Structure 1
C-alpha cells in the first residue's frame, strides 16, 4: 500500500435524542423494537413493544446547519395483542419491523408487522375547517341569503389503515422487504418467504419453503430476507 494512501474512517458524534427520557420510570412496553427512516430521510418511524408507532419529521433549523433534526409529528396504534384460538397461542402487539414505501404521487405510506399480521398505513394531513359568513336570525328577503364559506383553521397529521396482510405465516414474521417495482413486497418467518402485492391483501405466493418432511431433519432457518437493491428479481 502506498504511503500516500490515507484510510478514511467514519467520525461519529451525538446528534439528537428522540423521545422522552423518563429514566427508571420506563416500562418494558416502551422499549423500542423497530426503527426505520423514510427513503428521503424526511421522516423516521419508531415502533415499540406496545404496538405503537411514533413518527418524527425532519425540520429545518438554521442554527443546526447541515445536521438533520427531528421533531414529533404524530403517533398511532399499529397493532394490538391477539389470540390464535386454534393454537391457543398469544400474539404480542410488539412491532417487529417497519418499512417505508416510496413516496409515489405524494402519498406517504409504510408497512408494519408484528409476529403474525402485516399492515399498510397511509399518512396524511387532516384539515380542520371553520364555517364563516353565516346568517343569524330571521331571513325576510332572498337578498339576505348567504353561502357559508369554509376556511382552514388548523391541520392535524394522522395515519389510516389501508389494508392488512394476515394468515400466511405459521411461524413468527421476522422481516419484510419492499421490491423496487413499488408494487410488491416479501415477508419471511423461520422457514418460509412469501410475496405480496400491496393492493391484494388476501393473496400471497410462497417463494421459499425450507420446512422438511421430518422436522427432526431441520438444519437451518431463515432469520431475515431482503430484496437486492435495484434488482427486483434477487433476494
Structure 2
C-alpha cells in the first residue's frame, strides 16, 4: 500500500510523472522475518540462502540454500490474522499486506563427485523457478551447478483409523496387531469373553453365527483425515547437459519448455524430456585461449516464447530470436553502453560484468545489475540505458582491495515491482536500495535487512533529471557544473562479509523479500 509520506524526513510526499500522474513515494516497513539469528550466533555455511523466488500469483515463496534445501512459504489467510477485537472496531475489512507462514521444506540436491573430472559438485541451490500448476499441485525447478530437477508439491492427507474394537489402554508392542499379541493380552481376552457372554454367540457347522439383534459392542473402524500437509517429490531430473556451472534457468511462456545457461552455452529443454536438450547458444571458441567473455545470466521474454535475452561478462545484453535459426549465435539486438574514453583500468572488465538481468512484466524493459550500477534498458534503444543508478560508486577508490579479498566478484541480483514503477537491488552491510523509475521520479530509499529497516535514512543524492542516482561520496550536477557532497552509503564503514545478494519483489504488491545470510526478511509499503 502507498503512503503519503516518504521513507525519510526529506522525501517529498509525492512525485509527478511525465504524464502528470502523481506517483506516491513509498514508506517501507518491516513485515516478517524467518530464521533470524541471535546476536553472536554462528551461522552454518549450509544455512545461507542462495535463491529466492515468488510464484506468478504471489501466493507462494520459495528459498534455496547452500545446503541443497528448498523451503516453501505460503500466504496466510487475512482472516486468521485478524483478532476479534480488531474486526469489531473496524467498519470494514481494511486491505492488509501479504503475510506468509512456513509451509514445508525438502532436500533438493545432494553433494556429488564427478569421477571423470575429479570435481566435487556442491549441493548449493543456484536458482529456483516456479512452473505451471495442475490439478491443485504446484511445480518448480531447482538447480545446482550441474543438475536441474522438477519438483511437484501437492497436499497429502494424513489418515487415522478410529473406532477400533479394542480398549484404548491396550497396546501391542510396536503398534502392530498380531494374533499372538492379542491372545497373550489379558485385557484382550477379557474383552473377547465379555463379548461372548453379552451377546450369547452361537456356533454351528458352518462357523460363527451373528445373533438376530446384532452385536452392540462391535463397531466398524473408520478412517478420518486428521491433517493436510504439503508433500514434495521429484518428477524429472535433467542432468549431464552442461560442462560448466549452471548460472540461470528460465521458464518459457509456452509452459512446455525452459532454458538453462552455463558459462558458454544455453540449452533448451522440454519439460517432459530429460535425456535430451537442444543447444541454442554456444559461444565457446575453437581455441579456449581466444575466449573473451562468458554468459552470466539468461531469461525468456515474459510472453513472447521465441525471444530470450542473455548477458555477458563484458557488460552486454543480447536479445535473440529462436525463429531466426536453430543456433542463435547471431543476436537480434545488442545492448551495450559505450565506454568513456580514458576510464579503462585493471578492474574495468570485472566490474562491467552483468550479474543478473530481469524482464519487466510487459517485456518492454530489461533491468540489469553489474557490480557498480543498476541499469534499465528499453528494448527499442540499444545504444544506452534509459536509467542508470550508481549503487557502488563510493567503492571505486577501493577496487584493488576488493579484488584482493574477492569481493569484486560478488554477484548481486535485481528485481522490479509488478507495476514496473520501481526497481531494487542489494549491497553490502545487508543494505538494499529501492529506486523509482517513472518519468520525473527521483524516489530512492536505502534500507537495512533488519527489523528496523529505516535506520539508515533516505539519502537524497539523486540528480534532479532522474537520469543518474549516485549513492557515493559526491555527485556532479552537469547542468550546474558544480560538485555537491553526498552521504556515503554505509556511513564510512564497510562490512564486505555482510552482503545482500538475493531479493525478490511480490508480483502484485509492494512487498520485497530479501536474504541476509541465513535469514529471510520481508518489507512492505
What TM-score do the two structures reach when normalised by structure 1? 0.90
* Larger displacement relative to structure 2 (148-157 or 52-61): 148-157
1:170 maps to 243
2:66 maps to 49
* Larger displacement relative to structure 2 (78-87 or 54-63): 54-63
CA distance in 1, matches of 2:271, 2:111: 24
Once the 2 structures are TM-superposed, how far is the Cα of residue 135 of structure 1 from its aligned partner?
4.5
Once the 2 structures are TM-superposed, how far is the Cα of residue 146 of structure 1 from its aligned partner?
6.5
> Secondary structure of 1:202's match?
coil
Distance 1:154 1:31, change over 3 A: same
Aligned length: 235
Once the 2 structures are TM-superposed, how far is the Cα of residue 158 of structure 1 from its aligned partner?
1.6
Counting only pairs closer than 5 Å after superposition, residues 75-224 of structure 1 correspond to structure 2 as 75-135=105-165, 137=192, 140-141=208-209, 148-224=221-297
CA distance in 1, matches of 2:145, 2:249: 11
* Larger displacement relative to structure 2 (177-186 or 11-20): 11-20
Q: Is the 8 A contact 1:176 1:188 kept in 2?
A: yes
Q: Quick check: which has more Rg, 1 or 2?
A: 2
* Larger displacement relative to structure 2 (139-148 or 161-170): 139-148
2:376 maps to none
Deviations 1:92-127 (A, max 9, x none): 010000000122332201000000000011111121
Q: Is the 8 A contact 1:39 1:102 kept in 2?
A: no
User: Is residue 298 of structure 2 the alignment partner of residue 225 of structure 1?
Assistant: yes
> Secondary structure of 1:87's match?
coil
User: Is residue 78 of structure 2 the alignment partner of residue 58 of structure 1?
Assistant: no
CA distance in 1, matches of 2:137, 2:255: 12
Q: Among residues 80, 93, 97, which one is paired with 1:67 in the alignment? A: 97
Q: Is the 8 A contact 1:82 1:90 kept in 2?
A: yes
Distance 1:158 1:20, change over 3 A: farther
1:14 maps to 30
CA distance in 1, matches of 2:60, 2:236: 22
CA distance in 1, matches of 2:38, 2:127: 24
The structure whose residues are more often helix, as a share, is 2
Deviations 1:211-233 (A, max 9, x none): 01011111121101110010100
Once the 2 structures are TM-superposed, how far is the Cα of residue 153 of structure 1 from its aligned partner?
1.5
CA distance in 1, matches of 2:154, 2:23: 45
> Secondary structure of 1:15's match?
strand
CA distance in 1, matches of 2:37, 2:101: 15
Once the 2 structures are TM-superposed, how far is the Cα of residue 22 of structure 1 from its aligned partner?
3.8
CA distance in 2, matches of 1:25, 1:147: 55
Instruction: Say what the alpha-carbon RMSD is for the aligned residues.
Output: 2.4
Q: Structure 2 regions of 5+ residues with no counterpart?
A: 1-16, 84-93, 167-191, 202-207, 309-525
CA distance in 2, matches of 1:37, 1:7: 25
> Secondary structure of 2:242's match?
coil
Q: Is the 8 A contact 2:236 2:274 kept in 1?
A: yes
Once the 2 structures are TM-superposed, how far is the Cα of residue 87 of structure 1 from its aligned partner?
0.2
Once the 2 structures are TM-superposed, how far is the Cα of residue 38 of structure 1 from its aligned partner?
1.2
CA distance in 2, matches of 1:39, 1:135: 50
> Secondary structure of 1:200's match?
coil
Once the 2 structures are TM-superposed, how far is the Cα of residue 141 of structure 1 from its aligned partner?
3.2
Greater relative contact order (CA < 8 Å, ≥ 6 in sequence): 2
Q: Is the 8 A contact 2:136 2:154 kept in 1?
A: no
CA distance in 1, matches of 2:266, 2:26: 35
Distance 1:157 1:104, change over 3 A: closer
What TM-score do the two structures reach when normalised by structure 2? 0.42
Distance 1:159 1:20, change over 3 A: farther
CA distance in 2, matches of 1:78, 1:111: 10
